């Protein structure tokens, strides 16, 4: 049994379930998709990836016995039809292609304690894993607003939730950056929410899809945007950033120990060949380490590549800028006694959330927050390695 510090006990840990370089956020940047009126609609976009009912899609051809490439994994992309195969992938500790496993569901439900008739906001809808658990607990009479900046995955998740029986009256889909939460609530005529969740960062669908440019395991355009229609892409950002600003971003966004070396060498090399592809950038980082550091080690080099990609992703999506703004708005978006839970995945995020919640308790905006961070239990970490770095913090709005 573990304690969340809320005075309740949780039964078992959840099984198989989740700087300075940033300019101050501009009003339209902050709202991400600019919160145009047309964005704040239920079910805003048709799903371009959905198979047409008249023309069933052909199974992709692939070499060998099992599909290896993301887009070839047709069974994993079709979990309703191939439930047995999905169960096997999940049991092996992997996340099926095109899916995301929600993290620390039990702990989040205990913290948010959604009740019938309440209003909840999932600020990072993703695959909808947390929302699917919260929604039934709000019935009868309650409602969940599901936000996400991603124009590709958000409509797919909306369609899945509708197909699962969550109609307009209980689930409102809004494509928006969570930094625009006050406007989203105002547009919906809501004064505040009783429960707010933010599960920060990227989903497995985004990370694993080579077309999104988040992964360096396959050769893809160097993009890394949560909303690919909003500039800059990582390619454009890396083409223009100064050596000093790049070094700063590598430290602030990823605690990269080789920040100065990488910033100097990457900005030198880009004048000969601009970085446009994920594998090209990953290879350049490995080459820099092997030329300039003693005893380069392949695993350590891959860790450096991962950190550089994380730093670029945070920079192009202005992740710290929008998180700071969201944390400032948050207490004013909660009803008295309302609960907020935030899952973070690295120290830059966790520091901000911890500080904002503590400052809120000191100023009387929040009644309580957790002193000790809550982590996924060992069973969940084993079943879903992506949960290992997750940290949960919560706060309760003063009455
Ligand atoms: C870790 S996933 C959430 C997964 C989700 N909890 C689930 O169970 O499927 C994070 C999601 O948040 C979205 N996101 C990240 N930053 C955002 C922001 N500032 N505003 C709105 N959505 C954001 C991403 O596009 C991604 O879909």
> What is the whole-number distance in angstroms between the Cα of residue 398 and the centre of ligand 1?
27
102 Cβ below 6 A of ligand 1 = yes
Q: Measured from the CB, is residue 151 less than 6 Å from ligand 1?
A: no
Q: Is ligand 1 within 6 A of the CB of residue 180?
A: no
CA nearest ligand 1 atom 14, residue: 124
What is the per-residue pLDDT for 42? Answer: 33
Q: How far is the CA of 202 from the centre of ligand 1 (A)?
A: 6
Q: Select from 145, 104, 146 the least CA-distant residue to 124.
A: 146
- pLDDT at residue number 37: 31
Q: In this structure, are residues 285 and 304 in contact, taking their beta carbons and an 8 Å threshold?
A: yes
Q: For ligand 1, atom 27, name the residue with the nearest CA.
A: 126
Q: Is 150's C-beta closer than 6 angstroms to any atom of ligand 1? A: yes
177 lines ligand 1 (CB under 6 A): yes
Q: Average pLDDT for consecutive 10-residue bins of the chain (399 residues)?
A: 44 29 31 31 39 60 69 68 70 74 98 98 98 98 98 97 97 98 98 98 91 89 96 97 98 96 98 96 96 88 96 97 98 98 96 98 98 96 93 98
Query: Rounded to an integer, what distance in angstroms lies between the CA atom of residue 301 and that of residue 377?
Result: 29
pLDDT for the residue 57: 63
pTM score above 0.85: no
> Of all protein residues, whose CA lies closest to atom 25 belonging to ligand 1?
150
Residues 6+ apart with CB under 8 A from 363: none
- CB of 148 within 6 A of ligand 1: the answer is yes
Spacing of C-alpha 335 from chain mean position: 25
Q: Ligand 1: does its nearest atom lie under 6 Å from the Cβ of 321?
A: no
Q: Is the CB of 316 under 6 A from ligand 1?
A: no
Closest C-alpha among 380, 386, 313 to residue 348: 313
């Amino acid at each position: 049994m573990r304690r969340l510090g809320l005075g309740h006990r949780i039964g078992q840990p959840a099984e198989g379930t989740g700087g300075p370089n940033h300019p101050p956020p501009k009003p339209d940047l902050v709202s991400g998709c600019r919160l145009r009126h047309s964005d704040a609609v239920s079910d805003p976009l048709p799903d371009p990836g959905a198979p047409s009912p008249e023309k069933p899609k052909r199974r992709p051809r692939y070499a060998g016995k099992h599909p290896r490439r993301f887009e070839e994994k047709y069974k994993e992309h079709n979990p309703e039809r191939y439930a047995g195969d999905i169960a096997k992938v999940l049991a092996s500790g992997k996340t099926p292609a095109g899916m995301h496993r929600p993290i620390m569901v039990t702990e989040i439900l205990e913290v948010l304690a959604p009740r019938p008739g309440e209003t909840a906001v999932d600020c990072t809808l993703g695959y909808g894993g947390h929302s699917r658990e919260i929604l039934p607990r709000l019935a009868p009479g309650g409602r969940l607003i599901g936000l996400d900046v991603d124009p590709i995955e958000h409509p797919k998740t909306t369609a899945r939730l509708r197909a699962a029986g969550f109609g307009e009256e209980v689930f409102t889909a809004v494509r928006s950056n969570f930094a625009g939460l006050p406007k989203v609530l105002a547009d919906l005529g809501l004064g505040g929410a009783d429960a707010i969740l933010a599960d920060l960062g990227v989903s497995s669908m985004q990370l694993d899809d080579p077309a999104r440019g988040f992964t360096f395991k396959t050769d893809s355009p160097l993009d890394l945007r949560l909303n690919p229609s909003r500039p800059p892409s990582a390619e454009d950002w890396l083409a223009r950033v100064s050596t000093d600003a790049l070094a700063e971003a590598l430290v602030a966004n990823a605690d990269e120990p080789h920040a100065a070396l990488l910033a100097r060498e990457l900005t030198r090399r880009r004048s000969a060949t601009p970085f446009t592809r994920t594998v090209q950038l990953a290879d350049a980082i490995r080459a820099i380490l092997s030329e300039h550091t003693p005893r380069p080690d392949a695993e350590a080099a891959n860790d450096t590549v991962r950190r550089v990609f994380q730093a670029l992703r945070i920079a192009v999506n202005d992740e710290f800028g929008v998180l700071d703004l969201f944390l400032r708005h948050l207490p004013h978006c909660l009803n008295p006694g309302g609960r907020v839970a935030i899952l973070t995945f690295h120290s830059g995020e966790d520091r901000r959330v911890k500080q904002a919640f503590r400052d809120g308790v000191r100023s009387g905006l929040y009644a309580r927050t957790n002193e000790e961070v809550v982590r996924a239990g060992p069973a969940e970490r084993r079943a879903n390695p992506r949960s290992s770095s997750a940290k949960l913090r919560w706060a309760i709005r003063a009455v």
